[in-house]
Amino acid sequence: MLGGLTGLVTREVGGVVRRNVTVVVLYLLAGVLAAGAVGYALNALHTVLTLHYGAVTASLSIAGGLLVAALLMIGIALYVKSRPRPDRRLAAAVAAAPIAATLVGNRKFGWRTGLVGGVVLLGLILGRQFARGDDDAES
């Protein structure tokens, strides 16, 4: 029973990892292409500004625009970082529920083992949350 379950989990995890790697590689390629497109667009803007205002003014205008964009991104990053994180206790309890249900339904282990396993998992989750709560209260 556990051997088949382990094989199923291994195949499922392998498929998920393979799919996630493919998605990440495609995102990276899209990012490289977007960076190239932005570079060409900035070069075209520099050419247009050079024709109207001169090379030095065009270069300073583009540098100033990039600096403003960078400062805006830093501001957004600081705002996102300062927001409180969502509570993960319910998600942890929901994640532990299928393990306890599997142990309860298994004839080899029986309902008592499942009950003990569920209590141990619940104790681990609650203990971890209480430990985190003490750290948050001190800071």
Task: Indicate if the pLDDT at residue 105 is higher than 80.
Answer: no
Name 87's Cβ contacts closer than 8 Å, sequence gap at least 6. none
Task: Indicate if the pLDDT at residue 34 is higher than 80.
Answer: yes
Q: Quick one: which of 17, 134, 109 has its CA closest to 9?
A: 17
pLDDT at 92: 61
- Give the pLDDT mean for 94-120: 64
C-beta atoms surrounding 50 within 10 Å: 14
Q: Helix 89-105 to helix 110-138 angle, to the nearest 10 degrees?
A: 170
pLDDT tens string 78-88: 998 898 876 66
To the question of pTM greater than 0.85 for the whole model, the response is: no
